[in-house]
Amino acid sequence: MTNKIYQYLLFIGDNTMILGHRLSELCGHGPSLETDIALTNISLDLFGQTRNYFQLAATLSKEDKTEDDIAFLRMEHEYRNVLLVEQPNRDFAYVIGRQFLYDCYHFLLLHELVNSNDEHIAAIAQKSLKEVTYHLDFSSEWIKRLGAGTDESHEKMQNAINYLYPYTGELPEETPIELEMKELGIGADLPAMKTDYYNRVHEVLKEATLDIPETNWFQSGGKKGVHSEHMGYILTQLQYMQRAYPNMSW
């Protein structure tokens, strides 16, 4: 059972780590000082959440792993994050679109996990929910501001949503591990979240005067360890120090 919970924590922690890394790439490059600081703080929130998940996972590992081992010393196919969070920072509209589409899911996920039968997961979710509530408010307001702003901002935001929307289908997909955790009352009920997720996304898009992409085809694979071409570059940056200096300590 402990190994199953360990695997489940990777599905949650890998998402927050990879998205946190993407946002960290923007430090010093935001469109304004206020927004730059906000994105950096969101990145720090996500890394803090990741550390909580991986510290818990380390206590459950049968291989005596540390939180750093889990974060930095796995092969690409061993990461369980969704493809959405890997997508690059093409421009500010893509950054906000990616953040918003994940925040809606993350908010609903944590609302489920606060009632987890695992007291440690429930405690992490309770703390994280306060942060993610702010993340969702931040990204939702930017979606509306850009979508209902100038012709140029509207076009860029629409292009970003059109590109990123097909990656959302993987969020409520349920793997065997997630199904088992749900049945044990430890994990979230992802299929039950699907309708609420898209209702929330569509409500904000409509308020932003953005068209809802019409597609029946969605990207997936990240949860199974099949990642986009971007993942290798992300891990090259994340893992360099640990790979170059094994067992380093501060």
Provide the pLDDT for residue 250: 60
In a domain, 51, yes or no: yes
Say if 250 falls within a structural domain.
no
Judge whether 73 lies within some domain.
yes
- 44 CB burial (10 A radius; 0-12, 13-18, 19+): middle
Residue 28 lies in a domain: yes
Whether residue 8 is contained in a domain is answered as yes
Q: What is the pLDDT of residue 248?
A: 74
How many whole angstroms separate alpha carbon 64 and alpha carbon 69? 9
CATH number, domain containing residue 66: 1.20.1260.10
CA 231 centroid distance within chain: 14
Q: Work out how many domains the chain is built from and give that number.
A: 1
Q: Is 201 a member of any domain?
A: yes
Buried b (16+ CB within 10 A) or exposed e, 197-230: bbebbeebbeebebeeeeeeeebeebbeeebbee
Residue numbers of the domain that contains 103: 2-244
- Residues 142-176 as b or e (16 or more Cβ within 10 Å = b): bbbebbeeeeeebebbbebbbbbbbbbbbbbbbee
- Nearest Cα residue to 196 out of 116, 108, 84, 135: 108
In angstroms, rounded to a whole number, what is the distance separating the alpha carbons of residues 205 and 199? 10
What are φ and ψ of residue 100, in 5° steps?
A: -65, -45
Nearest CA among 225, 211, 200 for reference residue 107 = 200
| pLDDT of 64 | 83
Enter the tokens of residue 94: 């893509």
Q: What is the pLDDT along the chain (250 residues), one digit of tens a residue?
A: 788 999 999 999 999 999 999 999 999 888 888 898 999 999 999 999 999 999 999 999 888 889 999 999 999 999 999 999 999 999 999 999 999 999 999 999 999 999 999 999 999 999 999 999 999 999 999 999 999 999 999 999 999 999 999 999 999 999 999 999 999 999 999 999 999 999 999 999 999 999 999 988 899 999 999 999 999 999 999 999 888 888 776 6
Q: Which residues contact 54 (CB under 8 A, 6 or more apart)?
A: 9, 13, 67, 70, 71
Q: What is the pLDDT of residue 215?
A: 84
Q: What angle do CA 208, 214, 218 make, to 5 degrees?
A: 110
Tell me, yes or no, whether 249 lies in a domain. no
Contact in structure between 117 and 185 (CB atoms under 8 Å): yes
Residue 83 lies in a domain: yes
